[in-house]
Structure formats: structure tokens, C-alpha cells
Chain A
């Protein structure tokens, strides 16, 4: 007999759940992986120093991300950052950002919104990862201009994405959940010539 559905038995699902089989057909040179759920919180503030304690690093300037394992800060605009965490639940990350804003600097103004449901996360790595991205992205992805710590809000194929450089031939792509299937198909197609 099936167990009854309740909030205890419901588990979070990702927009790319069920794609692992097709991703697994790719060679190691273009490895594609739907990453586990990341909590995401949008922060707008003129006082980014207030969030340094939470992120564990100064908030990044243009085209960059900073942070560590626990919380990552990605710059979206001149007064806007996206905080992500694979470990904290969305309400915890939102509360932590609010608390940091309120506590760190007297009078700091920090607007915080949970946007965890907006985007899903894909990891692309391997010797041909950059080649695949370059078939549909206008950013200069050569390591001398886009390496570990780089970030760009841009277009990949026809989808708006947040692209993060994690290391040599190692990228994380944040894509809106409603575009995730499109982007997965696009990446699988772009990867074909590098098999």
C-alpha cells in the first residue's frame, strides 16, 4: 500500500530530474550534471559589506562571484547579488541574509527575496566544456578573461543564464526552471560534435 502524501513525504524536485540518463551518455570531455537543489536569495543593497560575514568574503564586483562552500555571492547588477547555498534551506538563507543586513552595519538597507524556485543548476565540465559553451555564448570564455571566480549574466543559446567559472574547463550554469529543458536539449545537441 502506498503511503499517504503529506508535507513530510513530499521531497523537493528539480526541473532536470529525469535527465540523468541522457546526460550520462555524454563522454567525460563534456560531462553534464544536474546539480542538487541550491537555495537562492536575491539581495539588493547599497551596503554590500553588511553581507561579508555571511558569504565569508567581500561581495564580488562586476562579472565575478565570491564565497565558499557554504554560501556563494554572484553579482547580478550594481546593487544586486544572488546568494546561493546547497546546504541551507531557502528560509534559512533568507533569514541569514536579513539578519546579516540588520546586524552588521547600523542603518544598512538590505532588501532580501527568496528566489530559490526561479532557477535550477547545471554543471558542465571536461576538456570540451568551453567548446560547447562557445557555440552559443558571446562572452569571451578564454581562461585569460573568464576563469575561476568569473561570472556573467548573459545568453546561452536563446536562454538567459547566469554562467559561473569554477576552474579550468569547469562551469556552473544557472537557468530559469522553465528554460531548463530547452537548455538541456541545447547542451546535448551542442555536445554531439565533441563526442
Chain B
């Protein structure tokens, strides 16, 4: 159990949150032009760093808002 800081509510227990995967994955500018392989890459392939990772989180059991946080995947420590 650890506390995660919601930008709207402050620190809350981690069970109140829902993980949303890598942040900053841009929607393709021209999706129709993508090959099947490129589309699959956009939909399924994500970075998997050991260390600093920008992630989307949702405060699902609180204010229900999405936010971006930076977490160290090795230590689980959140920045800020």
C-alpha cells in the first residue's frame, strides 16, 4: 500500500486509483495511412523502462479525473 498524490485531491491510498499505461502516446495524424503493422504498434506496443516512466493515472474512486504522473518502475516512487 502506498499513497499517490492526485493533483486535485492530494495524497490518497493507491486502491482509489486506476492505472492507464504510458502517457503521451500520440494518436496517429493520418490513421488511414497506417499499415496494419504500424497500427498494431500504435495500439499495443509501449515502452517498458526500468526507472523513470511517464504514466496516465485515474483517480477512479475519488474525483474520477485523469492525470499524468512520473513513477520509477523499479522503486514505485512517484516524483512530486
Contacts and interface: CB of A to CB of B under 8 A. Distances in A.
A61 to B, nearest CB: 10
Given A138-B15, A155-B15, A76 B63 contact: yes
Band of interface residues on A: 10 to 19
Contacts of B15: 138, 155
A62 interface: yes
Interface residues of B, number: 12
Contacts of B64: 76-77
Interface string B41-67: 000000000000000000001111100
B10 interface: yes
Given A138-B15, A154-B16, A155-B16, A77 B65 contact: yes
Interface in B26-80: 61-65
A160 interface: yes
B16 A77 contact: no
Interface in A67-97: 76-78, 80
A78 B8 contact: yes
- CB-based closest 10 A-B pairs: A138-B13, A77-B63, A78-B8, A153-B62, A155-B61, A160-B61, A77-B65, A62-B9, A77-B8, A155-B16
24 contacts: A62-B9, A62-B10, A63-B9, A77-B63, A77-B64, A78-B8, A78-B63, A78-B65, A138-B12, A138-B16, A139-B12, A152-B9, A152-B62, A153-B9, A153-B61, A153-B62, A153-B63, A154-B12, A154-B16, A154-B61, A155-B15, A155-B16, A155-B61, A160-B61
Interface of A: 62-63, 76-78, 80, 138-139, 152-155, 160
